């Protein structure tokens, strides 16, 4: 290997990497964000007892996390377009490790929720990983690559709740956060070694970078893709907020068994992302988003019909959630690539704004699902919310298709 000397005579091997990150690094960055969101969900009932609080307050660890995720994404997009992807990701991962330690040693539920909100900074990995893909590839190829990245990432939400349930059962709820600390440290080390800068820095100050937002806000296609992603993902976020209650209070599952059932959507998500990676370039992103939204709505509709017929059970409730994951796996990579491609020079800003909209809505839907569910209501309120939201996703992508026909695209 040829050694280059920097202006100060330092060995170039000490300089940051200059090559784009490998796909494994992007998968780990996105996977850590997903793991931080859901690994501890089977522990929520036990954490409620540990902190001697109410389940609705403990469930805010999901809604608040998603809400802060949304706010963070609004900020990191313009920051990363101005300063580059690499430094923002490294600082975000370091702050995530500190917040995770705070969650482990929190003496009260209020302190836990505070550090839980701080953990949301890990979203830099997912947002800027997607932006890095768009930096490197054109629109349809980016959708395919995002599909492959999130296909690998889908293993994490599929295995996360299973691992979390068993860790809780044998070692207590803090074991989940010790695992997050370990994976976060490994991710930080790998990112430092492998993630070369992918963006051409804008050279603009942060204020000037934030002034670029109106260019996105005025684009109907950007909002169409963004809302299609938000409503499709919102169906899943409602599930995140309500399924732990349904599993434990309605069907009487213990944390280990709940973790196994809870991963059902991730199996569909894995398949859906494979289909995105395989067919997005050939089929086109709009049709992939539409088909994904239809699959998501179809799965929830059949689940409601089965429950209305009196044949509902824990197997049917969680089994039909596989179709929600399948639809998300088809819709989200393609809708994301579409939103990032409307204004390619604002890829990180678009990724942040789109992600913020998605997660902000997800936070509200997660909290709403948790608030409406009671042992007497069963799973009905959750399934109705999911059906309405998935139908709105279908409407959003149909508006994009109509707009592109109007523009002759």
Residue 271 falls inside a structural domain: yes
Grade residue 10 by pLDDT with cuts at 50, 70 and 90: very low
Residue 384 falls inside a structural domain: yes
Other beta carbons less than 10 A from residue 363's beta carbon: 24
Residue 9 falls inside a structural domain: no
* pLDDT for residue 344: 67
Q: What is the mean pLDDT of the chain?
A: 82
Taking 60 as the threshold, does the pLDDT of residue 26 lie above it? Answer: yes
Taking 50 as the threshold, does the pLDDT of residue 164 lie above it? Answer: yes
Tell me the range of 210-224, 243-257, 304-318 where mean pLDDT is highest: 304-318
Residue 387 falls inside a structural domain: yes
Q: In the structure encoding, which two tokens stand for residue 98, read together? A: 């500190």
Which three-class secondary structure state does DSSP give residue 309? coil
Grade residue 266 by pLDDT with cuts at 50, 70 and 90: confident
Least confident span in 87-101, 135-149, 175-189: 135-149
Structural domain total, the chain: 1
Taking 90 as the threshold, does the pLDDT of residue 384 lie above it? Answer: yes
CB-based contacts of 355, cutoff 8 Å, min separation 6: 69, 70, 73, 123, 126, 127
pLDDT digits (tens, 9 = 90+) for 120-134: 999 888 878 777 776
Residue 116 falls inside a structural domain: yes
Mean local confidence (pLDDT), 270-289: 86
Picking from 104, 109, 7, the residue whose alpha carbon sits closest to that of residue 52 is 109
Give 3-state DSSP helix, strand, coil % of the chain, rounded to 5: 85, 0, 15
Give the structural domain span for 366: 17-199+206-407
Main-chain phi, psi angles of 51, to 5 degrees: -85, 0
Query: For 2, which DSSP code?
Result: P
For the domain that residue 96 is a member of, what is the CATH number?
Answer: 1.20.1250.20
Phi/psi region, residue 172 (left: phi>0; alpha: psi -120 to 50; beta: rest), is left
Q: In the structure encoding, which two tokens stand for residue 164, read together? A: 């979390």
Residue 35 falls inside a structural domain: yes
β-bridge partners, 11: 5
Residue 8 falls inside a structural domain: no
Picking from 42, 40, 55, the residue whose alpha carbon sits closest to that of residue 254 is 42
Q: How far apart are CA 209 and CA 149, in angstroms?
A: 28
- pTM to 2 decimal places: 0.70
Q: Which residue has the higher pLDDT, 166 or 18?
A: 166
Residue 4 falls inside a structural domain: no
């Amino acid at each position: 290997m040829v050694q280059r000397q920097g202006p100060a005579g330092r060995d170039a091997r000490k300089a940051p990497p200059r090559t784009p990150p490998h796909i494994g690094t992007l998968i780990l960055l996105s996977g850590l964000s997903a793991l931080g969101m859901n690994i501890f969900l089977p522990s929520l009932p036990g954490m409620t007892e540990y902190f001697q609080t109410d389940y609705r307050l403990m469930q805010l660890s999901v809604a608040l996390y998603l809400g802060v995720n949304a706010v963070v994404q609004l900020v990191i997009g313009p920051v990363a377009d101005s300063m580059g992807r690499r430094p923002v990701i490294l600082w975000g991962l370091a702050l995530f490790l500190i917040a995770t330690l705070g969650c482990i040693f929190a003496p009260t539920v209020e302190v836990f929720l505070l550090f839980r909100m701080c953990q949301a900074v890990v979203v830099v990995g997912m947002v800027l990983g997607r932006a890095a893909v768009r930096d490197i590839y054109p629109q349809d190829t980016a959708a395919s690559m995002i599909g492959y990245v999130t296909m690998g990432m889908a293993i994490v939400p599929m295995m996360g709740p299973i691992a979390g349930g068993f860790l809780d059962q044998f070692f207590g709820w803090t074991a989940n956060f010790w695992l997050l600390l370990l994976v976060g440290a490994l991710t930080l080390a790998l990112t430092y070694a492998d993630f070369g800068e992918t963006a051409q820095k804008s050279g603009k100050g942060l204020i000037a970078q934030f002034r670029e937002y109106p260019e996105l806000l005025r684009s109907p296609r950007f909002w169409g893709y963004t809302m299609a992603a938000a409503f499709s993902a919102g169906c899943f976020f409602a599930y995140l907020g309500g399924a732990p209650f349904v599993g434990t209070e309605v069907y009487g599952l213990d944390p280990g068994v709940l973790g196994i059932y809870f991963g059902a959507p991730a199996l569909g998500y894995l398949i859906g992302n494979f289909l995105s990676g395989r067919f997005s370039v050939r089929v086109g992103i709009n049709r992939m988003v539409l088909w994904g939204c239809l699959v998501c709505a179809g799965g929830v509709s059949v689940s409601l019909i089965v429950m209305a017929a009196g044949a509902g059970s824990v197997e049917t409730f969680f089994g039909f959630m596989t179709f929600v994951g399948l639809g998300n796996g088809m819709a989200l990579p393609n809708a994301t690539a579409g939103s990032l491609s409307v204004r390619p020079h604002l890829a990180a800003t678009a990724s942040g704004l789109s992600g913020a909209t998605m997660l902000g809505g997800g936070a509200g839907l997660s909290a709403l699902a948790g608030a409406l569910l009671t042992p007497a209501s069963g799973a009905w309120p959750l399934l109705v919310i999911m059906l309405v939201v998935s139908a709105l996703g279908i409407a959003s992508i149909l508006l994009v298709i109509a707009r592109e026909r109007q523009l002759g695209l």
